[in-house]
Structure 1
C-alpha cells in the first residue's frame, strides 16, 4: 500500500533523499522520492508493503540500478518487519525489473541475512532486524562506492584529456536519484565540476521517458553545473562539430565479457564515439557486474509498454490515452519500446568501478578488478 505527500528540499545535501527507511507510529515504511513527478514537484511515495514497492519499481517512481538494489533490500526488510511472507516478497521484488541485476543482488543480501538469523534461532522481529541491517549496510556501501567511482573517473578523465575543460555527454540519469550517494557517471561529472575542470555537461533528453531532461537536468541545475539539454538525435551533430570530449554513462547490467546494458540509446552513442575517436566510459559499481551472464546476448532486455512511445505524459493537461497520457500517434499504433540496449566491450573505452578502472575491457580484467571486492558478483 502506498501513500503520497509533498515536500521540498533546499539543496542537494539537505533535500529529499531518493530512498529512506522510516518508522512512524503506524509501522515501518520505505519512503521514496517519486521520480515520475520530477522536476515539477518533489513528492514522497510511502510504501507500507512489498507490492507497493514493486509497483513503484515498475512505474519508475524509483529507478537506477544501484538504487534498485537498495530498494530491493529494504523491501525484504519491510516484509519481514510487518510480518508478511518474506519468500513471496523476495520473489516479487527480484522480478520487478529483469535487466537491472542490482535489484536481485539487494534482495538476496537482505534475504540471506534474514534466513541466517532464523537459522541461528532468532525470532521474527530479530530476523527482521537482521534484514534491515543488511539493507542499511548495502546503502552505506553504495554511498562509499559512489565517492570512489567519482575519484577514479575524474583521474581517468584527466589522464585521457589533459588540461581540463572537459565537455562530457551523458545519457539517461546517473546521479543521486539512482544511488545511495551522488551517483555513478554523474558523480564523475560532478567531481570534475567541483574541481573546476568541467566546461560543459551535454544532457541527452533520453526518450521516451525523458530521464535526462527531467532528472539529469534537475540534478545539474541544483549543483550549479554548466549544462545543455539536447534531443537524443542531435548527438551526432554534436560529435561532428567536435563538441564532445568524452561520453559518460551508467549501466544496469554488465555481462562477464564486459558487454554493457544501459538505457536505450547508449549503443548509438558508443558507435558515434568510436567513429569520432571520443572515449566512451561506463561508470558502475561492481554489484552491477553479473558473472552469471556470460556475454551481451545473454542479457534479458526489458520491454516497456508501447504507450510510453505513443503517448506523452503531461499531468497538468487532459488525458485520453490508455496510459494516461496525450496520444501522439494514431490509435492502434504498435510501438517498439526496449528499455535498454547492449554495447559490446570493444566499443567501451573503460569501465570505472569503485575498485578501479578496467581498460581495455576484457573478461579477465573485469573479473580481476571486481574480485577485489567482497560484494562482487564476479567469482
Structure 2
C-alpha cells in the first residue's frame, strides 16, 4: 500500500498573515494573495479566490483574527462592538456553505470569553479549526475508502480536494486514500460548468499528485454510467440538512438521479460541521444565485448569443433517498434519514 499523495495547501497562515492560493487563476498560474482586512477576506470568499465549504470556514476564521487585531488596535476598550460588522460581512459572503457560519460561531464563542489582546487566543483557535479539518479529512478518507474494494472506476464532481479544504480533501480525500490503497483503477471528473472546477482544479490536483484522471463534459456523465465504467459517484457537500438532503455544487442532483437509474452507488463525504440539524430539509437551504455572466461566458470571453438571459444557481439539492452513504469524520451513515443523522451528531458531540 502506498501513502496517499497529499502535496497541496491552498490556505496558509504565516507570520500573522493570511495567504490564499487564487483558484480563479489555476491551472495557468499559481498566484498567492495576501489579505490584511476582513473585507478582503470576505471578497475573496465571495469572488471564489477560495472556495469549498471547509476552506471557506477556515479562511473566515483567520479573517476574524485579522479583524480583531485591527479593531483592538483602534479601540482596545470596545473592540468587540467594533468587530461585529466584520463578522456580519464575513457571514454574508457565501450563504449556502454552513461551514462558514459554523466557523464564525466558534470564533464568536471564544470572543465572548476574552479580555485584553484577543489575537493570540483567536489565532490559536483558527489554527485548531484548520488542523482539525485536515485530521477529519484523513479520517473520512479511511472510512470512505473502505467501501471501495476492487472498484473499476469512480466519478467525482466539482472540486473537493486540498483546494476546497484545509488539506487532503473530503470526496477527493477518499479518492486519494483509495488510490493509495489500490482500491480503485480509474478516476473520472466532470468538468463542472460554469466555473470548471473539475477541469481546472480537480484535474490539477490529481495530476500534480500523480493520480491519472479522465475529464468529461457534465452532460456525458449519464452515458459514462451506462457504459459500466464507474461503480461509485463520490461528491462533497456544502450543507447537509437534518433529514439527509444534501446541498452541493450544481449538477450533483442530476448525477444522483442518473446513478440510481444505472445502479451506481452515491457517496457524500463531508465533515460534521457541514451537517445542519437546524435546517429541516433541503427545501430550507438557501441556494446562492450567482451572476448570469458566468454562464454566458467562458474563460473571460462572452460566448452566448447577444440578448440571451441566464439562470445560474450555484448549488442544487440531492434528496436523501438518492444517497447511499454519508461519510463524516465521526462515522458513516448508510441510507441517511433524520434519526440516523441525529444519532451520528449525538455521538460526535459526545
TM-score by length of 1: 0.86
Q: Give the counterpart of 2:228 among 242, 253, 258.
A: 242
- Superimposed CA distance per residue, residues 7-42 of structure 1 (whole angstroms, 9 cap, x where no aligned partner): xxxxx7555x2112223xxxx321101100111111
Q: Which residue of 2 aligns with 1:81?
A: 69
Q: Give the counterpart of 2:22 among 23, 34, 49.
A: 34
* 1:310-329 equivalence runs, <5 A: 310-313=296-299, 325-329=300-304
1:110 aligns with 2:96: no
- Stretches of 4+ aligned residues off by more than 6 angstroms: none
Q: Which residue of 2 aligns with 1:45?
A: 33
Q: Which residue of 1 aligns with 2:79?
A: none
- Superimposed CA distance per residue, residues 276-329 of structure 1 (whole angstroms, 9 cap, x where no aligned partner): 11110000000000011100100100001000000112xxxxxxxxxxx21111
- Superimposed CA distance per residue, residues 157-207 of structure 1 (whole angstroms, 9 cap, x where no aligned partner): 23xxxxx14400000000001111201000001111111122110000000
Q: Which residue of 1 aligns with 2:120?
A: 129
Q: Give the counterpart of 1:140 among 131, 139, 155.
A: 131
Cα distance in 1, alignment partners of residues 146 and 305 from structure 2: 50
Are the counterparts in 1 of residues 6 and 168 from structure 2 also a CA contact under 8 Å? no
Cα distance in 1, alignment partners of residues 140 and 158 from structure 2: 18
Q: Which residue of 2 aligns with 1:317?
A: none
Are the counterparts in 1 of residues 237 and 270 from structure 2 also a CA contact under 8 Å? yes
Cα distance in 2, alignment partners of residues 34 and 208 from structure 1: 17
- Superimposed CA distance per residue, residues 355-378 of structure 1 (whole angstroms, 9 cap, x where no aligned partner): 111012111111111222239xxx
- Superimposed CA distance per residue, residues 66-114 of structure 1 (whole angstroms, 9 cap, x where no aligned partner): 1111111111111011227321111110110010000011111112212
Q: Say how many residue pairs are matched.
A: 337
Say what the alpha-carbon RMSD is for the aligned residues. Answer: 1.4
- Superimposed CA distance per residue, residues 39-64 of structure 1 (whole angstroms, 9 cap, x where no aligned partner): 11111011110111111111100000
Q: Which residue of 2 aligns with 1:18?
A: 10
- Paired residue secondary structure (2:24): helix
In structure 2, runs of 5+ residues without a counterpart are 73-81
* 1:244-323 equivalence runs, <5 A: 244-313=230-299
Q: Give the counterpart of 2:87 among 86, 90, 101.
A: 90
Q: Give the counterpart of 1:54 among 26, 34, 42.
A: 42
Q: Give the counterpart of 1:101 among 98, 122, 137.
A: 98
Q: Residue 53 and residue 21 in structure 1: after superposition, are their counterparts in 2 closer, same or farther (change >3 A)? A: same
In structure 1, runs of 5+ residues without a counterpart are 1-11, 159-163, 314-324
Q: Which residue of 2 aligns with 1:351?
A: 326
Cα distance in 1, alignment partners of residues 104 and 83 from structure 2: 10
Higher RCO (C-alpha under 8 Å, 6+ residues apart): 2
Q: Which residue of 1 aligns with 2:206?
A: 220
- Superimposed CA distance per residue, residues 139-173 of structure 1 (whole angstroms, 9 cap, x where no aligned partner): 11101100100010011223xxxxx1440000000
Following superposition, the deviation at residue 348 of structure 1 comes to: 0.3
Mean Cα displacement is larger for which, 79-88 or 361-370?
Answer: 79-88
Cα distance in 1, alignment partners of residues 253 and 207 from structure 2: 27
Cα distance in 1, alignment partners of residues 277 and 152 from structure 2: 33
Q: Residue 209 and residue 14 in structure 1: after superposition, are their counterparts in 2 closer, same or farther (change >3 A)? A: closer
